[in-house]
Structure formats: structure tokens, C-alpha cells
A = this chain, B = another copy of it.
Amino acid sequence: MVQYSLAEVLHPESIAIVGASETNVGGGYVSALLKLGYKGKIYPVHPKYLEVKGITCYPTMHDIPGNVSFVISSIPATHVLNLIDDCVLKGVKCIQFFTARFSETGRKDAIELEKEVLRRAKNAGIRIIGPNCMGVYYPAGGISWGANMSNKPGLMGFISQSGSLAHELIETAETRGLYCSKAFSYGNAIDFNECDYLEYLGRDAETKVIIMYIEGVRDGKRFLDTLRKTTKKKPVIILKGGRGKSGTRATASHTASLAGSMEVWNTVMKQAGVISAAHVDELLDVASTFYFSLPTFGNHIGVVGLGGGGTVTAADLCEEAGLAVIPLPNEIREELRKQGNPIWDWVTNPVDSSILPKDSAPGIIAKMMAENPNFDLSLIFIDPKINRHPMTSDVLIKKFLLDDLKTKPLFVVLLDRGRSVIDTTGEYNKTLIGLTTKLIEEHIPSYPTAARAANALGKMVNYYKKQRVELKSQ
């Protein structure tokens, strides 16, 4: 019997959403497909309704005219075996089970039911995504689990064992300009599992960076092999859930997967070239770095800060992350002297731009650093409320980022200091959003604090260093 691949099931001619009503999650999937512009046929299935979300609803799978290639199940677990039988008759290639309460409950009958689901589907050559998951988010294909999700395709591939984490992360990522090529919330992974999704995204030309939230692995050997191959081609950043005692306890009840010792995990991940993240913010910081930046093969960084202590701390954090905050090269000092800068012999790297003369934009020194062969990358601070008077984004970009600054990888700390949270007029946030949008357009990664920037840059530099070593040794 044919085993459809993930690539084959991802472009369905038609999708049936079984159990969809006007108000439930099934109906949410219908809205999502309509809203994101899915091009195939959409068939809501529910015995009680003639219409759902303005389109014809069918009482059973059998009543659907024509073939159904992909099914989204939002019916209770007790009904899924009948559903599979119906799907066999309609020639369905893949069922995505939003339906939960299987092995993740830890209950014996639920575990048995899950096994039976897999057995029946396998016998019929039907592939399964989930159960206990949100499923596929594929903006370019118009497939999603939420009508409020973006239809804008991006370069980030995302694999998540947790559906809520997937949803939350995608929302947060978009505020930073990170959009998904494809995302998979895969839940209990009884058929397609983390290896399949990883292999797929590794080969996917639309995916530049892969991020994963993973609690446990079904097939350790295959997972490691796939990781090793994939990290040679593109960065893979993994947030491991269930790292401690309680986490393991919680993952057991959450997705019923097995987690090994963290020591072993960390070692094999490192060997496989994986970048680890401890939480969602770190996952997104590192993803954003790879998403927007050019590769950098050196670690010599120029830091242009905004004030004494903050600049010093930023340099500390960069060094602690493995970057080299090299002394200011003499030729830059010399150039500053020629320009008549009265503190030419006092400026150092990191640059405290608060001591610069008023007419000397920090961007001028940042530009000298970018053009100087001793520097590999630069980190520059922008305060949207500099001098405590908000300026328009254009002025800020002009002051800080000269047009021709981007000859080398450039990164920005967009210092917020809690001000966006207390902005009830929207004025400050408009400035901040203007800046963020401009930086995204210019493919400049930005971070809210120096600590987060330094950590992400360190991880990026380390990844490319390892890649270069491997290229050389080949």
C-alpha cells in the first residue's frame, strides 16, 4: 500500500472539517480556511446544520459530493473510529485530529483507543497528524487553524508538540516580523512525527530557519540522523519542554511522550549542531537573528550604546556570549581626530554615545566600524524616546542608521524600558512600531534588551563557526 508523504498530503484538493458548528473549534477551522483563501473545496460536516460559516454543511462524510483528500476532526474521541471508516470510503489521504483525550490522559482505555485509531488508519493507508494538536499552518496554501492568523508566508518553519505554545509563539513572532513558511502542531504524533516534519522542513526551499518545541522523541536514532543532516543546511533551534522532574510529569499528562535525561539530551543536541533555547523568547530571539541577518563568520563586534552603564553592561553581555568587543582600531581614532571630534582619543569600543558631541550621530562611528576590516558585525542601540522627546521613526533611523551602514551584519537593540506597556495613547507605540517596521523592511534584527541581543548573536556566530569548521574538514 502507498504511504503518502507529508509533502503529498500538504496540498489537498479538498478539506472536510468533521464536527464543525458555527461556534466550536471545528467552525474555527472552516473560518480559517475561508479567511486565508484556501483554494480547494471546503466541506463542513455536522449532522445538525445545513450551513456553517456561510457554506454548505454535510450531515455525514458520505453526503459530500466528490473526493475528500484531507480531513480535520473536531469530534469527540469516542466517535473517531467511525470517522476513520467513513474516511476509508471517501479515499482520504490524511486526517488531522484536533480531537484529544487519548494517551495524554494517562488512562488505559484512551491509550487503547489511540492504538486502534492508528491501526485502522494504517490498514487503510491514511496518514495521521496528531491527535491532540492544532495541525497544519501553511499560509501560502491557505491552511490554518485560526481565522486571525496571517496569510503572509515567511521563512520560518515551526514544529511544535504543544498546540497552545504554537499558537502563542506564532502571534508573538509576527510582532517581530517573523512569519512561517509552514508550522506543524503535532500533539501525540502517533503517525507523522517530529522526524517527518523536520525532514520535510529541512528539504523545503521556502524554509530558511527551523524552530521546534519538543517534549519527547519517539525514534531517537532517526531524530538525531535527521537533525545532523538538517543543521548542515539550515539552523535548527530547539526548545525542549520537560527538562526537569515536574516537566517530565507534566509532559506525561500533556502529550504522553518520553523524555530522557537532560544531560544526554544536551550532549547529543550539541553534537548534532542544534541550537538550544530555554524559553520562547530565546527561541524567537535566535530565530530572528538567522531569519534576517547575513551569515557572519567572525565574532569581532562593534557596540554603539546610549549611555555609560548601559553600554558597559552591553559589552559585558556580548563578551559573556562569546563575542569579542575589540578595541577601537587606530585608523578610526585617527579619522575621528581628522573630523575634529574633540574626544577622538577618548572614544572606545563599546561606544558610549552619550559622551559624543551633539552634532556627532552615533551612526557615524557605527559606519566607520562597519567599513573597517577588523569588525565582523555591529550592535547599535536605539532609544525611541531619545532625549525624552519622542521623534518620528524617520529621524531616528537617519540619526542612527545611515543608509550605507549595512555592509556587514547589523543588529539593533530597540530599548523600550517598559514604556510601551504604559502607553495608553498609542503615541509612543506608533513610534516604536514605525521603527520596528523599518528595521524589518531593512532586514535588521532587533531585540528589546542588550542581554537578549548578545545571547542571540553569540548563538548565531557559534553556529556559523561550526559550519565553517565542518566545511574545511570536508
How far in angstroms is the closest Cβ of chain B from A411?
16
Number of interface residues of A (CB under 8 A): 86
Contact between B312 and A241, CB atoms less than 8 A apart: yes
How far in angstroms is the closest Cβ of chain B from A439?
13
Tell me the complex Cα distance, A243–B352, Å: 16
Tell me the complex Cα distance, A377–B327, Å: 47
Cross-chain contact of A241 among B105, B175, B306, B313 (Cβ < 8 A): B313
Contact between B350 and A309, CB atoms less than 8 A apart: no
Contact between A312 and B247, CB atoms less than 8 A apart: yes
A338 within 8 A of B: no
How far in angstroms is the closest Cβ of chain B from A100?
8
A162 within 8 A of B: yes
How far in angstroms is the closest Cβ of chain B from A303?
8
Contact between A325 and B246, CB atoms less than 8 A apart: yes
Contact between B165 and A310, CB atoms less than 8 A apart: yes
Contact with B along A279-319 (1 / 0, CB 8 A): 11110000000000000000000010011111111011111
A3 within 8 A of B: no
Tell me the complex Cα distance, A433–B166, Å: 26
A250 touching B312 in the complex, CB below 8 Å, given contacts A165-B307, A244-B320, A278-B451:
yes
Interfacial chain B residues near A429, Cβ < 8 Å? 420-424, 429
Q: Which residues of A349-399 have CB atoms within 8 Å of chain B's CB atoms? A: 349-350, 352, 354, 388
Contact between B325 and A245, CB atoms less than 8 A apart: yes
Contact between A416 and B421, CB atoms less than 8 A apart: yes
A309 touching B421 in the complex, CB below 8 Å, given contacts A246-B350, A350-B250:
no
Contact between A313 and B239, CB atoms less than 8 A apart: yes
A278 touching B161 in the complex, CB below 8 Å, given contacts A251-B312, A417-B168, A418-B176:
no
Contact between B319 and A245, CB atoms less than 8 A apart: yes
How far in angstroms is the closest Cβ of chain B from A1?
33
How far in angstroms is the closest Cβ of chain B from A468?
24
Contact between A308 and B278, CB atoms less than 8 A apart: no
How far in angstroms is the closest Cβ of chain B from A228?
25
Interfacial chain B residues near A430, Cβ < 8 Å? 424
A279 touching B243 in the complex, CB below 8 Å, given contacts A255-B308, A424-B426:
no
Contact between A421 and B449, CB atoms less than 8 A apart: no
Most B C-beta atoms less than 10 A away, residue of A175, A246, A251, A253: A246
Interfacial chain B residues near A161, Cβ < 8 Å? 308-309
Name which residue of chain B comes closest to A243, CB basis. Answer: B316
Name which residue of chain B comes closest to A132, CB basis. Answer: B308
Contact between B310 and A168, CB atoms less than 8 A apart: yes
Tally of this chain's copies:
2
Name which residue of chain B comes closest to A249, CB basis. Answer: B348
Contact between B281 and A348, CB atoms less than 8 A apart: no
A172 within 8 A of B: yes
Contact between A246 and B418, CB atoms less than 8 A apart: no
How far in angstroms is the closest Cβ of chain B from A97?
15
Cross-chain contact of A418 among B175, B240, B245, B423 (Cβ < 8 A): B175
Interfacial chain B residues near A175, Cβ < 8 Å? 417-419, 421-422
Most B C-beta atoms less than 10 A away, residue of A213, A279, A320, A326: A279
A15 within 8 A of B: no
Contact between A106 and B346, CB atoms less than 8 A apart: yes
How far in angstroms is the closest Cβ of chain B from A76?
13
Most B C-beta atoms less than 10 A away, residue of A247, A281, A306: A247
A420 touching B417 in the complex, CB below 8 Å, given contacts A243-B316, A317-B279:
no
Contact between A421 and B450, CB atoms less than 8 A apart: no
A163 within 8 A of B: yes
A148 within 8 A of B: yes
Interfacial chain B residues near A426, Cβ < 8 Å? 423-426
- Give the top 5 A-B pairs by smallest Cβ distance, nearest first: A164-B307, A162-B309, A165-B309, A244-B319, A246-B325
A sample of 11 more A-B contacts (CB under 8 A), given A164-B306, A245-B325, A279-B450, is A160-B309, A168-B307, A168-B310, A175-B417, A244-B316, A244-B320, A246-B315, A247-B312, A251-B312, A282-B451, A422-B433
| Contact sample, A vs B, 8 pairs, CB 8 Å cutoff | A165-B313, A241-B309, A241-B312, A244-B316, A246-B327, A246-B350, A279-B313, A426-B426
